[in-house]
Amino acid sequence: MISSLAFASPILLIALLALPLLWWMLRLTPPKPVEEIFPPTQILKELDDAEESPASSPWWLILLRILLAATIIIALANPVWNPTKQVLSGEGRILLLIDNSWASARAWDKRIETAQIILEEARSHGRPISIGMTVSNVAIDLTAKSATMAIKQLAAIKPQPIAADIKKLTTAIERDHQTAPSSIIYLSTGLHHQENDELRLALDKYQTGERILYQTTNDNLILIMDAQNGSEALNLSLKRLPEQGFQAGTIIAYDHKGRNLGEVSFEFYEDETELEVKLSLPVELRNDVVRLNVSKSETAGGSYLIDERFQRKRVGLISGEKNDLAQPLLSPLFYISKALSPFSDLINADNANLVEAVPKLIAQKPSMIVMADIGRLQDKTNSELEKWVKNGGTLLRFAGANLAAGEKHHILLPAKLRRGQRQLSGSLTWGEPQKIKKFHSNSPFVDLTLPEDIGIKRQVLAEPDLDLEDKTWVSLEDGTPLVTAKALGRGRVVLFHVTADASWSNLPLSGTFVEMLRKITTSSKAVGSNAAGNIGDVLQPYKMLSAKGKLIAPEAFVKPLASIQDEVPVIDTIDNPPGLYGVSDAFIARNLFASDAEIKPALSSFDAAFNDLRSLIVEASISLKPWLLIFAAILFIFDCLIMIFIRGAFSIRQFSLKTGVVAFLACVLMVNTHPLPVLAQTVNEEQETFTDPSQYAGALKTRFAYVITNDLRLDDISHQGLIGLTDAIAERTALEPGDPIGVNLEGDELSFYPLIYWPIDLKSPVPSPQTMARVDAYMKQGGSVLFDTRDGLSNNGTMGTSPERQKLQQILSGLDVPPLAPVSKSHVLTRTFYLLDSFPGLYKNGQLWVEALPSQNSDSQTLTRVGDGVSAIMITSSDFASAWAVDENGRFMFPTVPPNSDHRIYAFRAGVNIVMYTLTGNYKADQVHIPALLERLDQ
């Protein structure tokens, strides 16, 4: 086809004559400059190469605008590239037949385009048209219409995801008694329909000269015919048309929300038309699969819907014992439930009476029933179970004491059993627990890895039999069977020769057990559908398959499915197209094809009925209008940008105004935010990275700390005092603390120290709130602070207002201080190491204050106490450090007040008790209750 250019409305091109006028106007009006008052204008004029701007626009700007105007004018003239040629010949009625069955969705746009071209041509020639289609939910009306009407009718035709109903079309053609159409056009899908011959015969009644068949190829048409849930994977049957080359693709599994659950790739080789593909998915995911889709397939044939019957495995559980719920770990059903619940629905027998429970269970249509250690069943129950198994159910039995004592030969046992059980290991036997030797190849376990760690201590034995080997799924090292199975009717019976609990073997504790149960479950078949029972007899359409193979909301004409059989037959009607019927959690799937449906290309005999075979018209005419308009818009934007540049935007002026503000804000933000990470880093260094080695030292040993004050002498006393205490503790207790250390509350990490001694120094400033916050955090995280006002001499035990106490009050005002109380006679502090009744320091009468103990009846407070009940704050006035302080020669630095060696000893004992208290918490608290305990023992 020769490309050409035509204008739909060429008269508009006259406007191009106005372009010179535009040129002239643009020359006259250059862009207006920004007018600026500027006192030193004279200086500008005196500049050497100051060039005055030309009065007219630059030529390239004018050219740009002329081009812009020309483009718009040409675009409005509506140029068309490659106008279509005539496709039909002759005059009179046209009969247009459109195959809109499922395969038509693949190239639907092209089909419609071709049809439109034909209809447009019919309109321009005034030819009447009849349109017929292969799928329609109303009667096909072949009355000749005007082309305008036909175009409207065409717009309503959609591809349908069902097979063609050629018969309906044929009937309509046979009833057509109008004058014979002069042109018959058939837009075919290229696939064979069963009644094609009838259609051909029907068409033959017209003596029409022109018969055009528009064909499409069906390359890459890959259909999912069937999907079966295997034990390991979804087994998919794919089909394609013959005589195709190598083809590869992917099948994707979706859940009901359209999420991709997994995919598998496949490859068709030369001349292959059918292919089996395994889509491996975990069972849990496989249960969620609703739709399988050949990727890039554009037909409903490339999708396959899956419903509940396919997914859910219902497992009924029956146990011989019912009364051991108090000890669930001893119940065999516990292990089975744990193993099965991830991938199946469990139904427990709701009644201990098996005669009632079993029919109820069977009524719920489980795929499998598990019976744990049931020896005897009532005959009625037996026959019901047998019937169910023969119908396809899987009966899984576990051995146990009851079974060992029960009937040995039974229809619901896979093999004849020996009476009693065999004990392989135990206190009175020599044998070792038996290991599993192999999974037999006839079992579903064949691909499991052989576990090494399973030992069977007891089992029930099967009588040696000719067919025992065939029935055995798993055998032990000595050849005796562990799992046996036999087919019964359409179902089967499986017996584990051990219990389902851990008493006979450790099999139920292993992962292999879960795997084995899963294999058995997945290989079991659904017996009947529970969907029908749940949903009712009439299934409302839930989600329909679109012609493109996606799930969509049902269209209005879709009718409910009237009746359900176990196998839903494929009935290709537009009333019940493929899709999901039911409600969101209980639906059944209808698919386009029966698994044995045959797909083949249209026979050449049908094609022979047409005398002109064509492929769909792809070379349509292209309107250049939108492209030209886009080009004009780009030119316009370009012109705007040029104008903005000419006017001096994006210049320093803009920066100084708006951008300046923005830039300034940005700078402020940067200035504000930049230092923050730096600050955070320095804080981190202080708190976490401990660049100072002395802080490592604090972490390595338990040691006491004192607060460094402004008073060097006081610091020395604190240091020497804590050395004295450290020595005393090392000497008398099992604790050997490290050397005491002075801490700077503002910077040092406090959390290493169990106890911080804080002598109150009048000369030191009150710490900042930030510092006190650190102390507060230290105390809340379990540390203890011992405040020492050292004014025991001046303030004899009373809470007066000495300067030190005022100072202490100032310090504590920044802390979250709990209520305080003097140490009572029964406080833990009085007996953590020594039994004490007072806590003297340098001064005898100093009273030690600690957090008030919660009153007996306030539970909440007890619960909130941290630090194992250790008071985070202790306040004394006794000047402990001075009492403990020793100089380098080991001599005490200060005499006690009053001077008394016993007094000194008590001061050390107080210190030891305080340290033990902070370190052990309420460990000795129970000693407080010794009198009460002793009193109780007496009784």
Q: Which is nearer to another protein, 29 or 826 (CB)?
A: 29
Q: Output 30 or 83, the one with its CB closest to another protein.
A: 30
Q: Does 654 bind another protein (CB under 8 A)?
A: yes
d(CA 118, CA 116): 5
Query: Given the complex with another protein, which of 650 and 696 has the nearer CB atom?
Result: 650
Q: What is the closest distance, in whole angstroms, from the C-beta atom of residue 655 to another protein in the complex? A: 9
Name which of residues 626 to 645 contact another protein (CB under 8 A). Answer: 645
536: left (phi over 0), alpha (psi -120 to 50) or beta: left
Question: How many whole angstroms from its chain centre is CA 738?
Answer: 53
C-alpha count within 13 angstroms, C-beta hemisphere, residue 492: 17
What are the structure tokens assigned to 541, written together?
Answer: 């359409």
* CA–CA–CA angle 578, 584, 590 (5° rounding): 20
Site string for another protein, 46-85 (x = CB under 8 A): xxxxxxxxx-------------------------------
Applying CB under 8 A, among 16, 649, 777, 799 the residue interacting with another protein is 649
Interface with another protein in residues 862-891 (CB under 8 A): none
Residue 53 or 323: the one with the smaller Cβ distance to another protein is: 53
Nearest to another protein of 50, 618 (CB atom):
50
Closest to 450 (Cα-Cα) out of 474, 483, 422: 474
Least CB distance from residue 29 to another protein, whole Å? 14
Binding to another protein (CB under 8 A): which residues in 24-53?
A: 31, 33-53
| Size, binding site for another protein by CB under 8 A | 34
Minimum distance from CB of 645 to another protein (Å)? 7
Which one, 57 or 523, has the nearer CB to another protein? 57
Contacting residues for 608 by C-beta, under 8 A, at least 6 apart: none
CB of 889 vs another protein, minimal distance in Å? 57
Q: What minimum distance in Å lies between the beta carbon of 642 and another protein? A: 11
Give whichever of 233 and 646 is closer to another protein, judged by the CB atom: 646
Contact positions with another protein (CB under 8 A) in 655-674:
656-657
Considering only residues 426 to 465 of the shown chain, the ones binding another protein according to CB under 8 A are: none
List b or e across 571-609, with b for residues whose CB sees 16 or more CB atoms inside 10 angstroms.
Answer: ebebebbbbbbbeeebbbbbbbbeeebebebbeeebbeb
Q: Considering beta carbons, is residue 322 or 653 the nearer one to another protein?
A: 653
Looking at the DSSP assignment, which residues form a beta bridge with residue 589?
Answer: 580
Query: Cis (ω within 30 of 0) for the bond into 560?
Result: no
Give me the least distance between CB of 553 and another protein, in Å please: 54
**Which residue type is seen at 592?**
L
Of 47 and 676, which has the nearer Cβ to another protein?
47
At its nearest, how many Å lie between another protein and the CB of residue 657? Answer: 7
Structure tokens at 936: 């109780």
Residue count (the chain): 939
* Nearest distance, CB of residue 658 and another protein, angstroms: 9
- Tell me which residues in 822-861 interact with another protein (CB under 8 A): none
Residues 6+ apart with CB under 8 A from 483: 443, 445, 472, 473, 474, 494, 495, 496, 497, 516
What is the closest distance, in whole angstroms, from the C-beta atom of residue 49 to another protein in the complex?
Answer: 7
CB of 661 to another protein, least distance (A): 12
Helix (H) or strand (E) holding 888: none
Identity of the residue, 50 or 937, whose beta carbon is nearer to another protein in the bound complex: 50
DSSP class of 556: T
CB 53, min distance to another protein, A: 3
Neighbour count for residue 463 (Cβ, 10 Å): 12
Residues 304-343 that bind another protein (CB under 8 A): none
> Sheet harboring 291-294: ordered strands across?
260-268, 247-254, 291-294, 303-305
Name the burial class of residue 618, with classes exposed (0-12), middle (13-18) and buried (19+) by CB atoms within 10 angstroms of its CB: exposed
Q: How far is the CB of 114 from another protein (least distance, A)?
A: 55
22: buried, middle or exposed (CB in 10 Å: 19+, 13-18, 0-12)?
middle
CB atoms near residue 328 (< 10 Å): 12
CB contact at 8 A, 757 and 784: no
Rounded Cα–Cα distance for residues 7 and 288 (Å): 57
Between 330 and 652, CB nearer to another protein: 652
Q: How far is the CB of 641 from another protein (least distance, A)?
A: 13
Q: Which of residues 718-777 bind another protein (CB under 8 A)?
A: none
For residue 475, what are its two tokens?
């055998």
Cβ contact 398:500 at 8 Å: yes
Q: Nearer Cβ to another protein, position 39 or 898?
A: 39
CA-to-CA separations, 895 to 330, 899, 904, in angstroms, rounded: 72, 6, 9
Provide, rounded to whole angstroms, the least separation between the CB of residue 646 and another protein.
5
Is 24 or 650 the residue whose CB approaches another protein more closely? 650
Per rule CB under 8 A, is residue 647 in the interface with another protein?
yes
Beta-sheet pairing, 849-851 with 873-876? antiparallel
If the CB atoms of residues 36 and 596 are measured against another protein, the closer one turns out to be 36
Closest approach, Cβ 649 to another protein, in A, equals: 6
In terms of CB distance, is 259 or 647 closer to another protein?
Answer: 647
Closer to another protein by CB, 31 or 230: give it: 31
Q: Are 124 and 86 in contact (CB under 8 A)?
A: no
- Residue 31 CB, shortest distance to another protein, in Å, is 7
Q: What is the 3-state secondary structure (H, E, C) of 411-468?
A: CCCCCCECCCCEECCCCCCCCCCECEEEECCCCCCCCCCCCCCCCECEECCECCCCCH
Nearest distance from C-beta of residue 718 to another protein, angstroms: 46
Residue 61 vs 597, nearer CB to another protein: 61
Task: Report the C-alpha gap between 705 and 757 in whole angstroms.
Answer: 6
Tell which positions 365-384 bind another protein, by CB under 8 A: none
Establish if 363 lies at the interface with another protein (CB under 8 A).
Answer: no
Q: CA separation (Å) from 32 to 554, 647, 648, 900?
A: 63, 8, 12, 105
Choose the stretch contacting another protein; rule: CB under 8 A; options: 133-141, 590-598, 650-658, 704-712.
650-658
Scan residues 520-579 and list those touching another protein (CB under 8 A): none
In angstroms, give the least distance from the CB of 34 to another protein: 5
* Binding residue (CB under 8 A) for another protein from 275, 411, 461, 646: 646
C-alpha to C-alpha distance for 578 and 84, rounded to whole angstroms: 38
Q: Which is nearer to another protein, 31 or 854 (CB)?
A: 31
Among 148, 228, 280, 651, contact with another protein (rule: CB under 8 A): 651
Tell me the CA distances in angstroms from 238 to 38, 221, 235, 580, one per residue in order. 84, 10, 10, 21
Which residues of this protein are in contact with another protein, per CB under 8 A? 31, 33-54, 645-649, 651-654, 656-657
